[in-house]
Amino acid sequence: MATSAIAQPLPTAPGTVRTLRIFRKETKYEFLKLMRTKSFSLSTIGFPVMFYILFGIANRNAYAGNIHVAKYMLGGYACFGLIGAALFGIGVGVASELAAGWLELKRASPMPAPAYLFAKCASAVAFGLIIVSILTVIAVSLGGVSLTSIELAKMLGMTIVGSISFASMGLLLALLVPANAAPAIVNLIYLPMSFLSGLWMPLRFMPHWLQGVAPALPTYHLSQLMLSIFGYQDSMSLATHWNALIGFTSLMLGLSWLIFHRKERNA
Amino acid sequence: MPLSAIAFETEQVAPRAPAPVPQQPIATLSNITKRYGTTVALDGLDLSLRTGEVVALLGPNGAGKSTAIKLLLGLIAPTSGTSRVFGSDPRETTTRTRVGAMLQVARVTETLRVREHLDLFRSYYPNPLPVSEILHIAQLQGIEDRLFSQLSGGQKQRVLFALAICGNPDLVFLDEPTVGMDIEARRALWQQIRSLSDQGKTVLLTTHYLEEADALAHRIIVINKGRVISEGTPTEIKRNSGGRTIRCYTNLSREFLLTLPSVTSVEFNAGAVVVAATDAETVLREMLLRDETLSGLEVTSPALEDAFLALTKN
């Protein structure tokens, strides 16, 4: 065993370099995996793009007061797309890796647990950015939407914020929901929540009683922050939206942490 | 277990545990009890692994084999008792860099190539084996660029084996390693497990194939209902479970045969008598002396399978 005694002090020196490399590889392969999983990549990118082409482009000449409807819908479908990538990528992805025992094998290895979570989160962000970029290109080229470069930069920034926020919800769902039911349950939460927060069509076109539900939903607050980039937000203050989104994210992460530790204790 | 107590004390003084001296267990489960609600998975289990040995954990389904492995991997915590690997907590990252595991995984990430899976798992370890060597050991040459989903059942098992050994670990856990493999692939993997042991690595494997335990293990631990019910070399296990069987044609009576020392049973089968005895030589000497016409003599050791069934039958 002399060799291992000599070998042990060595890894501590380049430890950080090695840890960074693990984070990089974990992220790279998580992204590649999602990209190659057609059921994920085609639907998470395809649905918001298709919906935007159907409903957004159709409104290229529609204005409601000062609001360009096609531009308003760009904000809505950007949120719809990035939330889908985060909920499906992490909610369904982690749930199935948990159920299959794959996560257990990784946990038995010296992989640092944060690398796994970082990779999932970073991939959700990457998909969010891809979706929002594609939507933006379509909006500008086909929808007659004009965007300043500052607006675009803010949109991409908000995409990162939103992806991280909803990644936390994906994590909680993954811990709660059985893997074979995960896609259905994610849809049952994601689709009504998107509709009720006005991600598909502006809230003002919906019945009044329905509009009252929106402020209770995290998707609404994210979409209001996104729309505020264009000056299209409702009357509620931006601070309220930020607080709601941060509160929601903290709640999801806190519950995930509690459930994870309870599971670990009972394992 | 005084040995693990010593290991614990040394760890308190110096954070890095000293390299284990030969014959000191490198991994131990001491008086482990594991309950899931009211179900008892392990009930006061003691188990220790020494450098360079291949140990097979045998037992019927639900005996607690996988639970024991998960405790040694630090994936689950015991209800009571202690689990130590290389003198420290199995959950420590420094411990995990010296351990490799092949677990029963229902579904591996299917859209990554064999080479990519290896690249990722190698990055977890400070001193991994070169990719070419891993491909050679796990016999994955020629399929390293295939997606995992394109592999056959046996090839998938070999990839999981490759992931277990890619970090060049000193201790390898293999949970049902040859499930789904054909005979040829199974024997090839046995050869690789033997060569791990030749390199001084310690292997703990669970298996349903008794032939596998017989062919590979230096030591077999039979567990049932969470307890060790027998432990020893394959030969010892066979001997401890009813000895050998003498089959012959003889005119000696059943009553007489039953009076001979160490005879456990006498049965007649198609005109032949079948005598089970732990001390077959003495019984046989006496039988030959008393019956000069004795013919058609066969003496057999029970297959490990019979020994195993005898041991686990409550």
Q: Which candidate from A108, A111, A265 shows the least CB-CB separation from B75? A: A108
Clarify whether residues B177 and B288 are in a common domain. no
Indicate the residue of B94, B105, B127 with minimum beta-carbon distance to A105: B105
Domain parsing of chain A, residue ranges: 12-266
* Residues B99, B101, B107: CA angle, nearest 5 degrees: 150
Name residues 27-46 of chain A within 8 A of B (Cβ): 29, 32-33, 36-37
Q: How confident is the model at residue B11 (pLDDT cuts 50, 70, 90)?
A: very low
Report the residue count for chain B: 314
CATH number at residue B252: 3.30.70
Average confidence score pLDDT of chain A: 91
Confidence band for B304, pLDDT divided at 50, 70 and 90: low
3-state secondary structure of B27: strand
Report the pLDDT value the prediction gives residue B96, as an integer from 0 to 100.
93
Of all residues in chain B, the one with the smallest CA distance to A2 is B19
Average pLDDT over residues A231-241: 92
Q: Are B42 and B182 contained in the same domain?
A: yes
CATH for B185: 3.40.50.300
CB contact at 8 A, B97 and B168? no
Residues B211 and B247 grouped into a single domain: no
Average pLDDT score over residue span B4-17: 37
User: How far is A233 from chain B, CA to nearest CA, in Å?
Assistant: 41
A-B Cβ pairs (cutoff 8 Å, strict): 97
Q: Which residues of A touch B167 (CB under 8 A)?
A: 109-110
- Among the residue ranges B8-17, B28-37, B97-106, the one predicted with the least confidence is B8-17
Q: Does the distance separating the beta carbons of B124 and A109 come in below 8 Å?
A: yes
Inform me whether the pLDDT recorded for B4 exceeds 50.
no
Q: Is residue B146, in this structure, part of any structural domain at all?
A: yes
A65: left (phi over 0), alpha (psi -120 to 50) or beta: left
Q: What value does the mean pLDDT take over residues B26-37?
A: 91
Average pLDDT over residues B141-167: 93
Domain boundary among B232, B260, B275: B232
Residue B278 falls inside a structural domain: yes
CA atoms within 13 Å, Cβ hemisphere of B188:
15
Does residue B17 lie within any of the structural domains? no
Interface test with A, best of B109, B145, B170, B172 (most A CBs within 10 A): B109
Task: Provide the pLDDT confidence category of residue A189 given band limits of 50, 70 and 90.
Answer: very high
Quote the DSSP letter at residue A55.
Answer: I
Query: Is residue B7 in a domain?
Result: no
Residue B187 and residue B273 in one domain: no
Check whether residue B54 and residue B136 sit in a common domain.
yes
Residue B54 and residue B181 in one domain:
yes
Residue B26 burial by Cβ neighbours in a 10 Å radius (0-12, 13-18, 19+) = buried
Residue B242's pLDDT is what?
61
Same domain assignment for residues B221 and B246: no
From B53's Cα to the closest Cα of chain A, the distance in A is: 14
The C-alpha of A153 sits at a distance from chain B's nearest C-alpha, in angstroms, of 33
pLDDT value at B262 more than 60: yes
Please name the member of A36, A97, A109 whose beta carbon is closest to the beta carbon of B96.
A109
- Cβ contact, residue pair B112, A22, below 8 Å: no
Q: For residue B151, is pLDDT > 80? A: yes
Chain B positions in Cβ-Cβ contact with residue A265 (cut-off 8 Å): 77
Residue numbers of the domain that contains B264 = 242-312
Question: What is the rounded distance in angstroms from the CA atom of residue B146 to the CA atom of residue B151?
Answer: 7
B241 pLDDT band, cuts 50/70/90, is low
Can you read off the two tokens belonging to residue A5? Answer: 């005694």
Q: What is the mean pLDDT of residues A171-186?
A: 94
CA–CA dist A209, A206 (Å, integer): 8
Structure confidence at residue A14 (pLDDT) = 61
Report field, pTM of the whole predicted structure over 0.90 = no
Last residue within a domain, chosen from B196, B212, B232: B232
Helix (H) or strand (E) holding B82: strand B80-85
Structure ipTM: 0.87
For residue B88, the 8-state DSSP code is B
Is A207 part of the contact surface with chain B (CB cutoff 8 Å)?
no
Which range scores top for mean pLDDT: A44-48, B176-180, B243-247? A44-48
**pLDDT given for residue B179 in this prediction:** 81
Residue B114: how many other CB atoms lie within 10 Å:
24
Confidence band of B213 (pLDDT split at 50, 70, 90): confident
Instruction: Detail the DSSP E strand segments found in chain A.
Output: 63-64, 67-68
CA B239 to chain CA mean position, Å = 18
Domain termination residue (choose one: B177, B209, B232): B232
